[in-house]
């Protein structure tokens, strides 16, 4: 039996009889455009962040769309995609909401007091993402999402992982600092709550994002598109989500890097059929990005 | 079927437009958030090398080695008479001091007329005038620190010996000790009377040291290593480290620190423009004027800036022009209450509900037309 070339497999749309032939791009763009309206339109008239700092409106929007997709038979086909977006929004809103209890550090005078809560918020976000991914895994029809966590490490993986991280750091340090926002390190903040944030909260956040984007969203997209298109699309959404989250002017300069990283981690997930390598690389990358490259000057 | 196909094709044509619109919305909203922070100073582009902070909107500045009064509202620069190779200027209301690189010290009036006071021995390193009703002036050279009432001769307070290597002098600060000195052996405070006092456990500073005091008494110091430390309630804490520029570039040079209000401060650098901390050094943000090189040579504050709600200007000097940031124009988050808050809340909920309803309807229409099922 002839083996199909990788390039052809990458470009092939799902051909399982259980999967329809529609591309679903319109539905995808509609859902995304609706999210943009919900997030941005209220800003024209006021400051929705004032009473909705955790972007609950985005969660509500995706919940309504998911509910409608599940309730209306002709829309049921869109339910996995809508649920995937809900899996992105809900854990994030809960995470922000829990962080809100910590409150912004008042000043240098006030000691940072968010150690336990920061870590707790990250763990809750990760668990929620995992639970929702589980729901997605068991409630949606075949083909089931690729959420295998374990993969046997190979020499190539280690070489690519270590070499890629070093290459990433070298490129990061070679580029002009203002381009990446690594003008400085807020030492006092790092000595307080951010130290834990870099440890526990950062790792849990990276794991949650891999489950959300490379796990659930990419799985939902793979039902409609070729693996290549799914990787590209989830990478773009990954980048856009970072704009929506940060919403700081300078943050836009590193969005292309985020999109590229989304593509890289998506490719790793598809190739290894596991989320674990992407999770590990994401944790390492986040640590260095937050500690050295983007040190908080974006307002984050 | 033909009609369905063409409709779908039309929608497909619109999809890139929608995506472009979305990107534009996100991009423009981001850009809008960053604009309007700094404005070019009125008048022709002026190249300054130093500018003094002052409690009014007119201050002393140095342009081409010559001192003069700079009016921040009109952009006028009135040259002082008979001065050259000016190294430092300090202003207090309508009067000020000029220290030439030769050590010659002058007083200057609001008309620009100068009067020679004395010649200070050594290489000039700093000049400052205290705040308050009875202003006191202080000057720093590599031979020592000098102090005296504004308009009169300055007397030697301390020789270079206790200071070891004096670096810079800052003022005015609001405490009873209005002058702060950065030296290679730590930070010293100097009152209107009495001797110098070394601040315990203060960091040893390198070249290009800068020092400033915030309204709440926090002292910020930094030097060419790019490390900024803060002193508050008897404790020194390293709070911020500038990182290398990238590639083969080293750490950008620290060009100045000014305190604004109770616990905010601007830091000027050669490479990263200006950075802002709004909370005494805990968090840091980019707050740069649109300088191409990212170089800000000097910072100063004009007007009343030490109140709980500061009003005044921050003035940033780039190699090609001067920028102003009006503190009263700082964007403040709106406070919603009562009916306004309710309207905002319901409006946002309505937008959410309508957007969801519209998306659901459109998807239903698409599905109904095509009867295609993506998933089973």
Query: Which CATH number is correct for B39-329, 3.90.226.10, 3.40.50.20, 3.90.550.10, 2.130.10.10?
Result: 2.130.10.10
Whether residue B241 and residue A187 make contact (CB cut-off 8 A), yes or no, is yes
Identify any residues that bridge with B66 across adjacent strands, giving them in sequence order: B63
Give, in degrees to the nearest 5, the angle at Cα B356 between B351 and B359: 120
Contact A226, B10 (CB under 8 A): no
* Nearby residues of B118 by Cβ (< 8 Å), 6 or more positions away: B104, B105, B153, B154
Give, in degrees to the nearest 5, the angle at Cα A283 between A53 and A83: 50
DSSP state of A234: H
Each residue's pLDDT, cut to its tens digit, for chain A (300 residues) gives 455 555 555 555 555 433 444 557 788 899 999 998 998 888 877 777 677 877 899 999 999 999 999 898 888 888 889 999 999 999 999 988 887 654 444 333 333 445 566 678 888 999 999 999 888 877 776 555 556 666 677 787 778 777 877 787 787 778 888 776 678 877 776 665 555 556 777 788 889 999 999 989 998 888 888 888 899 999 999 988 877 655 444 456 667 888 988 998 998 888 888 888 888 888 887 777 665 555 445 433
- Find the largest Cα–Cα distance for chain B: 97
pLDDT along chain B (376 residues), means of 10: 50 55 44 58 88 89 91 88 83 91 92 91 89 85 90 88 70 70 87 85 86 85 91 87 83 90 88 87 82 85 76 88 77 65 85 93 82 48
Residue B48, SS3 per DSSP: coil
Tokens representing B36? 């309007």
Name which of A85, A188, A236, A247 to mutate to probe chain B: the one with the most chain B Cβ atoms within 10 A of its Cβ: A188
Q: How many CA atoms lie within 13 A of B271 on its CB side?
A: 19
Whether residue A25 and residue B283 make contact (CB cut-off 8 A), yes or no, is no
DSSP state of B295: B
Chain B within 8 Å of A216 (Cβ-Cβ)? no
Contacting residues of B for A42, CB less than 8 Å apart = 344, 347-348, 351
Contact A99, A106 (CB under 8 A): no
Residue of B nearest to A36 (CA): B22
Radius of gyration of chain B (CA): 27
A189: nearest CB among B27, B242, B282: B282
Nearest-CA neighbor of A90 among A136, A33, A44? A136
| pLDDT reported for residue A121 | 81
Window A:142-181, CB contacts with B under 8 Å: 173-179, 181
Gap between the Cα atoms of B156 and B162, Å rounded: 13
C-alpha distances in Å from residue B297, one per residue of B35, B268, B273, B284: 21, 7, 9, 20
Edge to edge, the sheet with strand B298-302 lists B39-40, B322-326, B313-317, B298-302
Domain boundaries, chain B: 39-329, 334-376
CA B113 to chain centre: 30
| pLDDT reported for residue B342 | 81
Q: Which helix (H) or strand (E) holds B156?
A: strand B155-159
Gap between the Cα atoms of B222 and B202, Å rounded: 11
Gap between the Cα atoms of B125 and B142, Å rounded: 7
Whether residue A182 and residue B334 make contact (CB cut-off 8 A), yes or no, is no
CA B49 to chain centre: 16
B241: nearest CB among A40, A46, A185: A185
């Amino acid at each position: 039996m002839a083996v199909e070339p990788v390039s052809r497999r990458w470009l092939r749309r799902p051909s399982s009889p259980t999967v329809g032939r529609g591309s679903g791009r319109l539905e995808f763009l509609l859902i995304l455009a609706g999210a943009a309206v919900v997030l941005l339109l209220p800003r024209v008239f006021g400051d929705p962040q004032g009473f909705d700092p955790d972007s609950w409106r985005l969660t509500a929007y995706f919940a309504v769309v998911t509910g409608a997709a599940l309730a209306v038979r002709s829309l049921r086909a869109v339910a996995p995609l809508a649920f995937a977006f809900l899996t992105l929004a809900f854990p994030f809103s809960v995470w922000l909401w829990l962080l809100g209890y910590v409150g912004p550090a008042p000043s240098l005078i006030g000691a940072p007091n968010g150690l336990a809560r920061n870590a707790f918020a990250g763990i809750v976000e990760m668990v929620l993402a995992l639970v929702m991914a589980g729901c997605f895994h068991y409630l949606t029809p075949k083909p089931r999402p690729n959420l295998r966590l374990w993969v046997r490490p190979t020499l190539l993986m280690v070489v690519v992982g270590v070499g890629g991280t070093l290459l990433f750091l070298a490129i990061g340090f070679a580029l002009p600092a203002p381009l990446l926002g690594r003008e400085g390190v807020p030492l006092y903040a790092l000595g307080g709550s951010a130290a834990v944030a870099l440890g526990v909260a950062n790792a849990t956040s990276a794991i949650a994002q891999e489950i959300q984007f490379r796990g659930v969203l990419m799985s939902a997209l793979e039902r409609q598109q070729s693996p290549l298109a799914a990787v590209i699309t989830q990478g773009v959404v990954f980048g856009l989500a970072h704009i929506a989250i940060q919403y700081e002017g300078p943050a836009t300069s590193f969005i292309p890097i985020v999109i590229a990283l989304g593509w890289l981690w998506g490719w790793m997930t598809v190739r290894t059929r596991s989320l674990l390598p992407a999770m590990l690389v994401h944790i390492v990358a986040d640590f260095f990005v937050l500690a050295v490259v983007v040190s908080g000057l974006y307002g984050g | 079927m033909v009609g369905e196909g063409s409709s779908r094709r039309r929608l497909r044509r619109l999809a890139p437009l929608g995506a472009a619109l979305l990107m534009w919305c996100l991009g423009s909203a981001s850009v809008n958030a960053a604009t309007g922070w700094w404005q070019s100073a009125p008048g022709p582009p002026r190249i300054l090398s130093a500018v003094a902070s002052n409690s009014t909107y007119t201050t002393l500045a140095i342009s081409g080695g010559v001192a003069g009064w700079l009016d921040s509202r009109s952009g006028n620069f009135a040259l002082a008479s008979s001065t050259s190779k000016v190294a430092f200027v300090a202003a207090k209301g309508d009067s000020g001091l000029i220290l030439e690189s030769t050590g010659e010290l002058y007083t200057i009036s609001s008309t620009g007329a100068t009067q020679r006071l004395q010649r200070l021995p050594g290489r000039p390193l700093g000049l400052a005038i205290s705040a308050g009703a009875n202003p006191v002036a202080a000057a720093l050279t590599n031979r020592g620190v000098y102090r005296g009432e504004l308009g009169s001769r300055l007397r030697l307070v301390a020789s270079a010996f206790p200071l070891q290597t004096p670096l810079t002098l800052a003022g005015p600060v609001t405490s009873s000790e209005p002058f702060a000195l950065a030296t290679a052996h730590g930070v010293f405070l100097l009152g209107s009377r009495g001797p110098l006092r070394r601040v315990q456990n203060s960091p040893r500073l390198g070249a290009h040291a800068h020092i400033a005091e915030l309204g709440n008494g926090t002292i910020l110091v930094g030097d060419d290593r790019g490390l900024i430390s803060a002193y508050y309630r008897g404790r020194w804490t390293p709070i911020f480290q500038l990182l290398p520029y990238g590639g083969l570039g080293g750490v950008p040079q620290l060009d100045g620190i000014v305190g604004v209000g109770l616990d905010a401060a601007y830091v000027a650098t050669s490479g990263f423009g200006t950075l802002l901390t709004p909370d005494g050094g805990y968090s840091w943000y980019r707050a740069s004027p649109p300088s191409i090189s990212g170089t800000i040579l000097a910072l100063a504050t004009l007007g009343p800036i030490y109140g709980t709600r500061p009003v005044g200007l921050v003035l940033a000097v780039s190699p090609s022009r001067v920028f102003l940031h009006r503190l009263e124009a700082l964007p403040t988050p709106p406070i919603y209450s009562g009916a306004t808050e309710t309207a905002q809340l319901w409006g946002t909920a309505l937008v959410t509900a309508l957007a969801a309803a519209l998306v659901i309807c459109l998807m239903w229409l698409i599905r109904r037309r095509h009867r295609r099922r993506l998933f089973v």
